Chains A and B, each alone.
Chain A
Amino acid sequence: MSLPFIAEALVSLLLVLGGLFAFTGSLGMLQFEDFFMRLHGPTKGTTLGIGCVLIASMVYFTLYQREPHMQELLITLFLFITAPVTGHMLAKTGLHMHLRFITSTRGSLPELLDEDVGQNRVARPGRPKRPSGVKSRKRQLLKSRGR
């Protein structure tokens, strides 16, 4: 290897970090007990891991062949743009299919639109009471007329 020591150390560190992050993301997908929890590992850990690996490859080829090597940056950008989109679509699919989820991970009641989920209604916070004013009396009047 004709690389200087510091460059080789940097490439090695980035490679090991990338492998660790990718493995951690997949381990999260193995360990968690709920689809919405399992979604966290691959969308964050694996994306960061492959970013590290691609940057290591970019540094290596740039220094080894003494010319800028930018194709990896293209793949990195593409993956970093598409990973959140994929996670969002997968979460929407999970909500749509009414997957089982652990209720203890739920902080506050979700505010979901009807078109985000499937056919059944979803628990949502109650609507604030309308103050009894002119408008509500008008509405009662309309209701009593049979509209």
Chain B
Amino acid sequence: MLIIALWISLTLIVLAMAINVYRLAKGPDIPDRLLALDTMYVNAIALIVIVGLWLNTKTYFEAAILIAMLGFISTMAICRYLLRGDIIE
């Protein structure tokens, strides 16, 4: 049962990442692409956690924490750049 649930969840998250890639390529404006990139970060965390659950190891959680922090900081930096024209004033 757990294996089936893992397959379903992995498939859905890979589909979500494919949708994000589509929006990242197509998105009419810069904030659309930024939103797609941010969602892709979050989906990558879900993917890594599911792979760690599948392989039954705890190794991947540090990578998940790192991806979460880098995603937040990079999104903030690009938003600041678009809003103010400068990241650190």
Contact = CB atoms under 8 A, between A and B. Distances in A.
A72 B62 CA distance: 10
Interface in A27-61: 27, 29-30, 35, 38-39, 42, 46-47, 49-50, 53-54, 56-57, 60-61
A97 B20 contact: no
Interface stretch (A13-21, A126-134, A139-147): A13-21
Contacts of B10: 19
Per DSSP, are chain A's interface residues mostly helix, strand or loop, or mixed? helix
Given A15-B50, A30-B23, A97-B30, A61 B58 contact: yes
Contacts of B76: 85-86, 89
Contact of B13 (A22, A64, A93): A22
Contact of A53 (B9, B20, B23, B31): B9
B31 A60 contact: no
A64 B56 contact: yes
B19 interface: yes
A-side interface size class: 35 or more
Contact of A78 (B29, B65, B80): B65
Interface string B47-82: 001101100101001001100110010011001101
A124 interface: no
A111 to B, nearest CB: 20
Nearest to A69: B58
Interface in A46-98: 46-47, 49-50, 53-54, 56-57, 60-61, 64, 69, 71-72, 74-75, 78-79, 82-83, 85-86, 89-90, 92-94, 96-97
13 contacts: A11-B5, A12-B1, A23-B12, A26-B15, A50-B43, A53-B49, A54-B49, A57-B52, A64-B56, A74-B65, A75-B61, A86-B38, A86-B72
